[in-house]
Every structure is written in structure tokens, then in C-alpha cells.
């Protein structure tokens, strides 16, 4: 009955996508006289839009994941190259949601630009100075320090939407689900539903709820956000996460197909939305569609320069999942090797900083081509020294909500996952199993999302299933089934273990469950 109720509730979100107009959209029309921005996503706002209006509209469109500020603010920054917050918004968006790899490099360069503007203007407002400090910490990989600065900005102005979005994104990198939700809920009472951007707060709150496993509440609030703003792609993205977490691939794939127009907008989420869709298709054996997504929608053909690391990391996730499903991934592996090679030098020379999981995804591919891969290291982020930080904050007293794990735990976990990928690629499955088994319970200290954490468990199961003794593999699959009982791929993996064990009855049962849940139906591949 609960499943039926969930199935009936989703059309409310669907209706929001197609029929309802947003309170914030009409407010935008009142403020700017232009309605919802629906031009090309690489289009700059025209000369008739004032600098401040351009900033506010670019911020709203960015927070809703509809456009890149570097495009929308191009004209404003050409007209006034001393427009501090315009540069800050562009730099922050390029750091957290780069369209291409060059954006990550440009974000680092923005720090010098904004620092020079502040130095030349003694009357720069305090919050703008703090944004400059936060940007510097963020592009340097001092994520927890940057989060402290953004929280400090929000003490000064709880309606600072850029600080809210950046703190929210940083807590995602840190894997701090408590504060992903908390940074929004701490400010919600100070906002009005009539404030421009309020629906975006709701969509971020909904995402935080699903990170905490509160799926029904997340769905309800994401639907509310979409009823206020039918173009809020972060709310739509949250609903895709909710469906994926519930494990009903048929429902998720149908929902994605029904609202295909929400995917192709050229905005910061476009490639990642296709990644989310591909997770459903994996369970249904639609490998042909996934390879097409990779070719056309994720590794977009119109992009001729190196892809952003986040894009390549998503593609790497799909590579491993396709590989574990028994697909021919050699061509994709070579493509990923070329993509990571184009980015790795900048990371190794510290011109850009990868998050821990992005660094591991890079290593997982590059090490598979090297018989003696180098042992990459991950230096844990140093604790935030609040007294020293206060000296940078022009008199503002910093406030910290997120505190790091012990450096020993972070280093040991990173090394364990790194060595697990290396051993697996070299065919040392016993070694891979032991290294991963030792750290699997601590993967969250590396930050990232549940989907990223799941890949480590999948690698462990795959390694264990290739060992001589399959007892551990069977126990691990029992665990996964308790969590993903509606996953056709999990049942398919279980069937392979039963086949190796020689348990014909259990093999038939597992294959039957895999088929019933969608794998192999309609001519779709089962392996």
C-alpha cells in the first residue's frame, strides 16, 4: 500500500513541472520586467539590465541550476571590470559547478582579481570582503574553512543566497549531511515565501532531507518547490534522487523520460541529470542507452576542450557500474584515460584541487593502465584555526558548525579505497577485498554522496565474488539485498555468485527476481 501511495503522489510534481507558474518567476518579472530567463544558456544579459539586476538574476538562475553566471554576467563585467560581487559569483560557480575544466582554473585566477579590487577600495562592505576570503579558501581546497566563512556571512545576512548555496555545496563535498540540511533550516524562518529565491531554499532543504534518508518529507518539499517554480532543476534533481533511493528503476526511468525537457537546458546540472537517469537504466539493462548518454549528453560533442572533473567523475562511476554488469567497457576506459590525463597534471601541480572522491575516480582509471601506479596521497584538511581565521575576517567573529574527522581516519580510508581499486585492476582480488573490507565502514569521512559511497561497496562485492572462497561475497550480497531489494542488478549479481557456488535452485530464484524487476524484459540485456 505504501508503494502505491508513493506512486500516486508523484504526479503532483509532474503537474508542477508542466502547469504551475512560480511565485518567484512573477516576482522576477516585477523586479526586472523580463519574466523568467529562458534565453540561450550562454547568452549575456543585455545593456537594458542594470549591473545589480544582472547580478540578482544571474544568482537566482545559478542557485536553481539553470544557467552559468559567467555567461549571464559577461556584459556587466565587460562594462565594469571592478564589479566585485559579479566576479565573486562567477568564481564561486566556476569552482563548485564548472562547465569545463578551464572554469576550475579560471576560478583560481578570480581570487587575485577580487583581492585586488578589495585592496583598491577601502569602503568595500564587510560581507563582500568575507565572500573574497571564502572564495580563496574554497578554490584552495580548504572546504571546511570556506564553510566557516560562509556561515559567518550568514550571521551578518541570513538572506545571502550566494552564501547559502556555497555553504550547501561545500557540505556536500564534505559529506556532512547534518549541515547540508542544517545550513538551510537555520535560515528558513528568516525568509518569507514572497522572497525571490525562497523556492530554491525549499529545493535545497528537500535535498538535505533525502540525504538524511527522510524520503517522504524530501519528496513533499521538492514538490512544493516545483509548485512555486516549475523551472527549479535542483528540486527536480532531488526528486530523481528520491526515486533512485527507493530503488524502483522502472518508475524512475519512466519519470525521467516523461520530463525529458527538464534535462536539456545547458545549465550546471544537465550532464549530472543524465547520470541520474543512467542509474535507473542500469537496473533495467538498457546499456545501449547509457552508452548513448555518455557519448551525447555527458561527454557532450559540442565541448572541444577538456571536460570538467565532475563530469569525468560521473562518467567514471558509470564505467565501473557497466563493468561490474559485465559490459564491454574497454573503449570507454580508454576515453576516460584520455580525459583524466588531460586534467591530472593540473591537479598534481596543485593548480586545481580535486575532492577526495574525484581524486579516487581519477586514480581508478589511470592506475588500470599502469602496472606500477604511484600511490597518490590525500592530505587531510587541517582543522580550522578560528583565532587565526578571525584576523582575515575584518572584525567578524567566525562560527563553525562542521568539524573534521581525525587525520588518521581520513588517510587510512583514502589509502584503503585507493589500494582496493589498484589491486582489483591488477587481478589481486583477495588483496582488494581485504583493503576495502577494512575501510568500508568509514568511507563517509571522505565526504561525497551515498551514490559515491555505494561504488566502494560494489567494488568490494565484485572483488569478493572473484575470490576462491565465496562465503564473504554471499554475506555481502545479503547486506546489499536488505538495502536494495528492488534492484534487478543486485539480484543479477547475486545470481552470478550462486552460479559459481553451484546452487542451481538459488540461481533460478535470483535470475527470476532480476527478470521480474526489469532486467532482461523487452529484449534488454541481462549481462
pTM of the shown model: 0.88
Q: Which long-range contacts (CB under 8 A, 24 or more apart) does 107-110 make?
A: 107/135, 107/139, 108/139, 108/351, 108/352, 110/135, 110/139
126 CB burial (10 A radius; 0-12, 13-18, 19+): middle
Q: Residue 416: what pLDDT?
A: 97
In DSSP notation, 472-516 reads HHHHHHHHHHHH-TT-HHHHHHHHHHHHHHT-HHHHHHHHHHHHH
pLDDT, position 30: 33
Are the CB atoms for 438 and 266 separated by under 8 Å? no
Cα 522 to Cα 161: distance, rounded to the nearest angstrom = 47
Alpha helices in 325-449 (DSSP H): 330-348, 356-366, 386-392, 407-425, 429-439
Query: Hey, what's the cell of 50?
Result: 542594470
Q: Do the beta carbons of residue 354 and residue 347 sit within 8 Å?
A: yes
pLDDT at 119: 96
What is the C-alpha to C-alpha distance for residues 123 and 441, in angstroms, rounded to an integer? 50
pLDDT in tens, 374-425: 788 887 788 999 999 999 998 899 999 999 877 888 999 999 999 999 999 9
Q: What are the residue ranges of helices labelled H in 212-329?
A: 215-228, 233-246, 249-258, 270-283, 287-292, 309-324
Cell numbers for 306: 577538456
Instruction: Say if CB 492 and CB 519 are below 8 A apart.
Output: yes
Q: Give the number of C-alpha atoms closer than 13 A to the C-alpha of residue 137, restricted to the C-beta side.
A: 26
| Rounded Cα gap, residues 393 and 486, in angstroms | 50
**What contacts 214, CB < 8 A, 6 or more positions away?**
none
pLDDT score, position 16: 39
Which residues have CB under 8 Å from 446's CB, separation 6+?
175, 356, 357, 360, 410, 413, 414, 417
Q: What is the pLDDT of residue 36?
A: 40
Q: What is the pLDDT of residue 211?
A: 94
Burial category of 15 from C-beta neighbours within 10 Å (exposed 0-12, middle 13-18, buried 19 and up): middle
Q: Tens-digit pLDDT profile for the chain (527 aa)?
A: 232 223 223 334 333 333 333 333 333 333 333 334 444 455 555 555 689 999 999 999 999 999 999 999 999 999 999 999 999 999 999 999 999 999 999 999 999 999 999 999 999 999 999 999 999 999 999 999 999 999 999 999 999 999 999 999 999 999 999 999 999 999 999 999 999 999 999 999 999 999 999 999 999 999 999 999 999 999 999 999 999 998 888 899 999 999 999 998 889 999 999 999 999 999 999 999 999 999 999 997 676 799 999 999 999 999 999 999 999 999 999 999 999 999 999 999 999 999 999 999 999 999 999 876 778 888 778 899 999 999 999 889 999 999 987 788 899 999 999 999 999 999 999 999 999 999 999 999 999 999 999 999 999 999 999 999 999 999 998 998 888 888 888 888 888 888 888 888 888 888 888 888 877 765 455 55
3 state DSSP class of 376: coil
Which letter, b or e, does each residue of 390-420 get, where b requires 16 or more Cβ atoms within 10 Å of its Cβ?
Answer: eebbeebebebbbebbeeeebeebbbbbbbb
Q: Is 467 exposed, middle or buried (0-12, 13-18, 19+ CB in 10 A)?
A: middle
Amino acid at each position: 500500500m505504501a508503494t502505491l501511495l508513493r506512486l500516486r503522489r508523484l504526479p503532483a510534481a509532474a503537474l508542477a513541472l508542466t502547469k504551475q507558474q512560480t511565485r518567484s518567476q512573477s516576482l522576477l518579472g516585477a523586479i526586472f520586467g523580463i519574466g523568467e530567463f529562458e534565453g540561450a544558456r550562454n547568452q549575456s544579459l543585455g545593456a537594458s539590465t542594470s549591473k545589480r539586476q544582472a547580478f540578482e538574476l544571474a544568482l537566482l538562475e545559478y542557485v536553481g541550476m539553470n544557467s552559468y553566471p559567467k555567461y549571464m554576467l559577461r556584459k556587466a563585467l565587460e562594462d565594469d571590470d571592478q564589479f566585485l560581487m559579479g566576479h565573486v559569483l562567477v568564481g564561486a560557480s566556476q569552482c563548485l559547478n564548472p562547465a569545463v575544466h578551464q572554469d576550475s582554473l579560471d576560478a583560481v585566477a578570480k581570487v587575485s582579481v577580487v583581492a585586488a579590487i578589495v585592496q583598491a577600495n577601502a569602503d568595500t562592505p564587510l560581507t563582500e570582503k568575507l565572500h573574497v576570503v571564502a572564495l580563496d579558501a574554497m578554490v584552495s581546497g580548504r572546504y571546511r574553512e570556506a564553510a566557516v566563512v560562509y556561515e559567518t556571512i550568514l550571521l551578518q545576512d541570513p538572506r545571502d543566497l550566494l552564501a547559502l548555496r556555497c555553504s550547501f555545496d561545500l557540505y556536500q563535498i564534505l559529506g556532512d549531511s547534518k549541515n547540508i540540511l542544517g545550513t538551510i533550516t537555520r535560515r528558513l524562518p528568516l525568509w518569507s515565501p514572497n522572497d525571490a529565491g525562497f523556492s530554491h531554499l525549499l529545493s535545497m532543504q528537500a535535498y538535505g532531507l533525502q540525504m538524511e534518508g527522510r524520503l517522504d518529507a524530501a519528496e513533499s518539499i521538492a514538490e512544493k518547490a516545483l509548485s512555486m517554480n516549475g523551472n527549479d532543476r535542483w528540486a527536480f534533481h532531488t526528486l530523481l534522487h528520491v526515486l533512485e533511493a527507493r530503488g524502483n528503476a522502472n518508475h524512475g526511468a519512466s519519470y525521467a523520460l516523461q520530463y525529458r525537457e527538464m534535462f536539456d537546458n545547458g545549465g550546471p546540472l544537465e550532464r549530472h541529470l543524465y547520470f541520474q537517469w543512467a542509474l535507473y537504466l542500469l537496473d533495467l539493462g538498457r546499456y545501449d542507452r547509457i552508452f548513448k548518454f555518455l557519448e551525447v549528453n555527458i561527454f557532450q560533442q559540442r565541448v572541444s576542450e577538456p571536460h570538467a572533473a565532475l563530469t569525468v567523475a560521473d562518467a567514471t562511476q558509470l564505467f565501473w557500474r557497466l563493468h561490474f554488469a559485465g559490459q564491454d567497457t574497454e573503449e570507454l576506459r580508454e576515453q576516460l584515460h584520455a580525459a583524466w590525463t588531460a586534467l591530472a597534471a593540473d591537479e598534481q601541480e596543485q593548480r586545481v584541487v580535486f575532492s577526495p572522491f574525484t581524486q579516487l575516480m581519477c586514480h581508478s582509471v589511470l592506475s588500470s593502465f599502469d602496472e606500477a601506479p604511484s600511490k597518490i596521497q590525500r592530505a587531510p584538511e587541517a582543522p580550522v584555526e578560528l583565532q587565526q581565521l578571525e584576523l582575515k575576517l575584518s572584525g567578524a567573529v567566525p562560527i563553525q558548525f562542521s568539524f573534521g574527522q581525525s587525520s588518521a581516519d581520513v588517510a587510512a580510508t583514502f589509502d584503503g579505497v585507493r589500494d582496493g581499486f589498484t589491486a582489483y585492476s591488477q587481478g589481486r582480488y583477495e588483496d582488494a577485498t581485504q583493503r576495502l573490507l577494512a575501510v568500508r565502514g568509514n568511507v563517509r569521512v571522505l565526504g561525497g554522496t551515498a551514490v559515491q559511497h555505494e561504488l566502494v561497496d560494489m567494488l568490494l562485492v565484485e572483488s569478493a565474488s572473484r575470490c576462491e572462497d565465496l562465503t564473504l561475497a554471499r554475506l555481502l550480497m545479503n547486506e546489499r539485498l536488505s538495502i536494495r531489494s528492488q534492484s534487478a542488478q543486485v539480484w543479477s549479481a547475486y545470481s552470478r555468485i550462486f552460479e559459481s557456488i553451484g546452487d542451481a535452485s538459488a540461481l533460478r530464484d535470483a535470475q527470476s527476481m532480476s527478470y521480474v524487476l526489469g532486467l532482461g524484459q523487452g529484449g534488454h540485456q541481462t549481462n
